[in-house]
Structure formats: C-alpha cells, structure tokens
Amino acid sequence: MEGRRFPRQLKADGSLSEDTMAFEITEVRIRIVDNPRGSLLAHATITVDGCFAVHGVGIIRGPNGVFASMPSRPNPKYREGEAPRNGERPVPKYLDIAHPINAETRKYIEDKVLDVYEAEVNRGGSRAPASENAAF
C-alpha cells in the first residue's frame, strides 16, 4: 500500500529515526451545511487505510480562510469569562478527541479534506440542515 510516510520515533539526540510507517486517507465524505449561521461550513468523515473512520471533522470559515477542524468535544470544566488563577493555564473551551501529532500530518489531512470539500461545493453536493451539529 502506498501512503504518506512520516517519522515514527524521535531519537535521544533529537534526530528522527529512519523507521517510517505509512497511512493513507482512502475516503473523505463531506456534508455541506445548508445556510450556515456561523463559521461551520460542512461536516467531514475521513477513512484511513480503508479501515478506520474519523467522524466530526469540521470545515470552518476562520479569519484567515477555510480550514479543517479536528474532532473535539465541549470541556465540562470550561467557564465563560473565568480567568486562570495563579499562573495556571487557561481552561480550553473544547477538548480534542483526535488530532494529528505533527504539522506534516495535519497539512496532509487538511489538504485532502479541503480538496474534496471544494469539489463538493462546485458540484452542489450533499447538504446537512443548518441546525444539525452532529457529523454523519
């Protein structure tokens, strides 16, 4: 199987090992949000190597353009407007469910998802109601 290759281990000296492992995004499904009210433009599901699905990828319109948002869930410890205490890190509003470990993998996933999203928009693809928050 031919796929993306990326470093698997960081050596003690800080260099990357020659060992690699491969994965490939074999399918991307997109559901465009009808009449988006906020920044969410579409929901995506990616399939890795034809055997592992990741639901809940969002296509988001941000201040610097459109990007793919990795799956996340609301953080029950988050409180609107609550400031961190005594040098603590701020409590994030959302917690990651799944995310890439390095920039190369993030770029690969985002490029693949956005390419399929653009193609779907151009052909007038499948729609999800604006009120639908769940991915398919």
pLDDT in tens, 6-43: 545 556 676 655 555 468 999 999 999 987 778 999 99
Say what the alpha-carbon torsion angle 76, 77, 79, 85 is, to the nearest 10 degrees.
Answer: -170
Q: Are 60 and 47 in contact (CB under 8 A)?
A: no
pLDDT in tens, 34-85: 877 789 999 999 999 999 999 999 999 999 999 999 999 999 888 887 777 7
Q: Which domains does the chain have, with CATH numbers?
A: 4-13+25-74+91-124 (3.30.1120.40)
